[in-house]
Amino acid sequence: MPAPQGDVRFVQHRLWQDRVEVAALFRQGAHVYVCGDGRHMAPEVRETFIRIYRESTGTSAEIAKSRVDRIEQETGRYVADVFA
């Protein structure tokens, strides 16, 4: 769930706030490394990337998730190093 406008408490809120720039950087080949809490933070950050991809491409939720899965598994451009 997105944070209220201007309320940047967690990394996923910052990503969503800067989503236009994040999407542009990712289209240009950026790599994303997520490190930290694997129970709460990492899933929320991943879901935010899916939402950003969905919004920036106009695809369905299923296609966006599939594309992010592929990016993570095949290209190594999205890497999570997390702890439980």
Q: What is the pTM for the complete model shown?
A: 0.86
Segment 18-74, tens digit of pLDDT: 999 999 999 999 999 999 999 999 999 999 999 999 999 999 999 999 999 999 999
H or E segment to which residue 78 belongs:
strand 78-83
| pLDDT given for residue 81 in this prediction | 96
Query: What is the C-alpha to C-alpha distance for residues 19 and 11, in angstroms, rounded to an integer?
Result: 12
Sorted by where each begins, the domain ranges of the chain are 31-83
Quick check: 4 pLDDT over 70? Answer: no
Name the percent of the chain lying above pLDDT 90: 88
